Amino acid sequence: MPVIKIKSNIGNYNVLFGNIAAYLKDIEKRGLRKCYIIDENVWKIYNKKELNNINKDEAIILPISETKKNLNTVKWLYNTLIERSAKRNLTIISVGGGITQDITGFLASTLYRGVNWIFIPTTFLAQADSCIGSKTSLNYRNFKNLIGTFYPPSEVFIDPGFIYSQKTLDFYSGLGEVIKLHLMGGIDKTKDLLRAYPEIIAKDRKTLEKIIYNALTIKKAYIENDEFDRGKRNLLNYGHCFGHALETTSRFKIPHGIAVLFGMMLANIIACSRNLLKKDFKEFIFSKVFLPSACILPKKSWLQKEAVLGAMKKDKKRTGKDLALIMLMDGCRMMRVNDVSEKEAINALRQLEYCLNKDSLNKL
């Protein structure tokens, strides 16, 4: 795969594709003063295989979960690195998914006011979405991603082979963000995704590489001209207001990308009610794009409307009394609205809840 070159006001960086074992050998040849921070689950699976050349004395094996994405974990890492005599010439090499990226990216951006770091994403979601864009985020109290910095890695390395060991629900979580980005890329990109869908589900390596590459190039167009999220980049939050609320109220049992998928559904229901999205286009998206991924979620009573609405009110991007949503319009155009009323949101949540019951998903 060709290299993706990302322009950043903080520091340009490249996204590379290839074999992880060969890449780690290349890292060793660079003679870096380094520390690997590795997701404990990734280490358990790969420490005797693809990661067996990593010196355990240069590694921190970190238990990873959404509840660990906070300042306490970062403080523990500060202490551990200080005890290991870390200096400003340290390179942190993160190996894991988006939570690992957030924790270690924040750590790298604040230790000695910024040290070098390399990110090796191991999940579909991190490889196809979060690995670029410079954002680091920590949760604070009951607020998701309230604290953070802008700090890009110096390099990203992607080996789709890591995806093979992902749990099914987590794989579909990544696919949720992939769907979002392809919709934002336009109708032709969306049709490309549909054509490739069987090979994606079969985890064909060449198809995964291509779909990851496409998703990142779509996102690149949004982030390079608005790195600090003051305008166009905000459209990447399509599905996220409701999605983050659903994650929080489910106590993160519903993974991020699946929650975002339902957030997109909710936004589309409201867009259709406002005549911004034609009904036939909405139904095409639901039946051909959303449903194959949405159906992976167990059918049970997980949608608590009042709790979800309360969490939506805490969205950090909300600026007024009403709710903010990114909406899809006809022709895969995007827009942000800031005037979604509580009544409008509840009505849409009721429609979504009804359609998710039993076999009524096709009634969306």
What is the C-alpha to C-alpha distance for residues 264 and 347, in angstroms, rounded to an integer? Answer: 15
From residue 186, give the alpha-carbon distance in Å to each of 146, 161, 192, 242: 31, 28, 10, 22
Strand partners, 361: none
CATH number of this structure's domain 4-165, picked from the four choices 1.10.3720.10, 3.40.50.1970, 3.60.110.10, 3.40.50.150:
3.40.50.1970
Asked if residue 357 has pLDDT above 70, the reply is no
The listed range with the strongest mean pLDDT (156-160, 274-278, 284-288, 342-346) is 156-160
Average pLDDT for residues 187-215, to the nearest whole number? 94
Of residues 54 and 249, more confidently modeled: 54
pLDDT at residue 219 greater than cutoff 60? yes
- For CATH 1.20.1090.10, the residue range(s) in the chain are 172-363
E strands, 50-115, are 59-62, 90-96
Q: Are strands 116-121 and 143-150 parallel, antiparallel or unpaired?
A: unpaired
- Which comes out higher in pLDDT, residue 269 or 355? 269
Band of residue 364 on the pLDDT scale cut at 50, 70, 90: very low
Residue 257 and residue 177 in contact, taking contact as beta carbons nearer than 8 Å: yes
Confidence at residue 362, expressed as pLDDT on a 0 to 100 scale: 46
Domain 172-363: homologous superfamily in CATH: Dehydroquinate synthase-like - alpha domain (1.20.1090.10)
109-113, 132-136, 238-242: lowest mean pLDDT where? 238-242
Query: What residue ranges of the chain are covered by domains with CATH 3.40.50.1970?
Result: 4-165
Nearest of 295, 178, 311, 291 to residue 246 by alpha carbon = 311
Other CB atoms closer than 10 Å to residue 337's CB: what's the count?
16
Task: Name which residue leads in pLDDT, 216 or 355.
Answer: 216
pLDDT at 307: 76
Q: What is the pLDDT of residue 318?
A: 62
* pTM exceeding 0.85: yes
